[in-house]
Amino acid sequence: MTDVLKQQVTEGFTAHFGYSPSGVWSAPGRVNLIGEHTDYNEGFVFPFAINRRTFAAVALRTDAVVRVASSFAQSVVELPLDQIRRDAVTGWSAYPLGVAWAMQQLGGATGTGFDCYIESDVPVGAGLSSSAAIECAVAVALNDLWEANLDRRTLARVGQLAENEIVGAPTGIMDQSASLLGELDHGVFLDCRDLSAQVIDLGFAREGLELLIIDTKVEHRHADGGYASRRAACELGAATMGVGSLRDLTVADLPRAKELLDELTYRRVRHVVTENDRVVETVRVLREQGPTAIGKLLYASHESMRDDFEISVDELDTAVETALQHGAIGARMTGGGFGGAAIALTPVAKISEVTLAVLAEFEALGYAKPDIFVVSAAPGAHAE
Ligand code: GLA
């Protein structure tokens, strides 16, 4: 697949712009194993880069114009570098253009325009960060072509800044970090306070496990209100508790939080505080006992998101419960919530049983047909 996309992206570039690109760069989508809505609270996350990638064929121009095109949209979008603003861009082009803008803010730009063509096999709207994959592919390309020498943490901030300021989604730093720091068969244990990261051997294949993605096809968008309102509740909770971020609270603070906070804000805070614990615990258990022992933590995370953070939907709950009933050792919704995908850590021998059971249950309940597939941990963004 990789070779096909790499060839297609080069051909697409040439067909749209009439000359050959100077190179191809790629970046993966990500799945979050555990640690949801903790990133913007300076907490812990444990995602991994997946074997679905976005490819960007890029060449510098001699003027200051940017042109972007892709296999998933008809037209070429063209804009001078210095005119990239939130209200000047729409749709998917906000991601590559936003990165060009953000690189200028974080000191990586030369003012030279570029042409960029994009191809991707990261499913869109599934909670697998198709947007971060575009951002990171373009970021590593521009970092090379502009000779910006920004390190990977700064490139992650470039992607986040593009998303926050140009796309208009108030998301955290997890997705871009996973896409940039991922390694084959490893998860990225990231402390979102200082962006220090450790790559941790997942050992799924060794233990006969695979990670199943159940894309519910319920569309989610982080530029919509649900994500922002959760973030606002976390900020209110931290301010009321007198801390800079929820990272500064532990479960020992929860009784006091219960007294000080309104009931809803308390539950939002409880999710984040307990989720941070679950991430640290997952990494510990994975190291000491291997992946077959992390199932309970994955499900506890799901319950917390369903009941305290209230970001699950019926389709995600059904996917999780059905997968567990049919042999998955752990399952949870993943990503920002309100739709997208669930993950199910499943013994290889149970993959088809879980898949068929989820398909049947969705059909019986009249839900849209989910997309179900396996992902593995892949390398992060790089030049091809
Ligand atoms: C989205 C955001 C991330 C993170 C997750 C929730 O994927 O882009 O920054 O907040 O939601 O964990």
Please provide residue 262's backbone torsions phi and psi, each rounded to the nearest 5 degrees. -65, 165
The verdict on the CB of residue 330 being under 6 Å from ligand 1 is no
The verdict on the CB of residue 309 being under 6 Å from ligand 1 is no
Take atom 11 of ligand 1 and give the residue whose Cα is closest: 336
Take atom 2 of ligand 1 and give the residue whose Cα is closest: 171
d(CA 62, CA 234) in angstroms, rounded, equals 46
The verdict on the CB of residue 275 being under 6 Å from ligand 1 is no
Q: What is the pLDDT of residue 34?
A: 98
Over residues 202-249, the pLDDT tens digits come to: 999 999 999 999 999 998 765 568 999 999 999 999 999 999 999 999
The verdict on the CB of residue 175 being under 6 Å from ligand 1 is yes
Active site residues: 175
d(CA 153, CA 236) in angstroms, rounded, equals 28
Q: What is the pLDDT of residue 116?
A: 98
Over residues 293-337, the pLDDT tens digits come to: 999 999 999 999 999 999 999 999 999 999 999 999 999 999 999
Over residues 122-152, the pLDDT tens digits come to: 998 888 999 999 999 999 999 999 999 999 9
Take atom 9 of ligand 1 and give the residue whose Cα is closest: 172
The verdict on the CB of residue 370 being under 6 Å from ligand 1 is no
CA of 60 to the centre of ligand 1 (A): 32
The closest-lying atom of ligand 1 relative to the alpha carbon of residue 132 is: 8
**pLDDT band at 57; cut points 50, 70, 90:** very high
d(CA 346, CA 322) in angstroms, rounded, equals 12
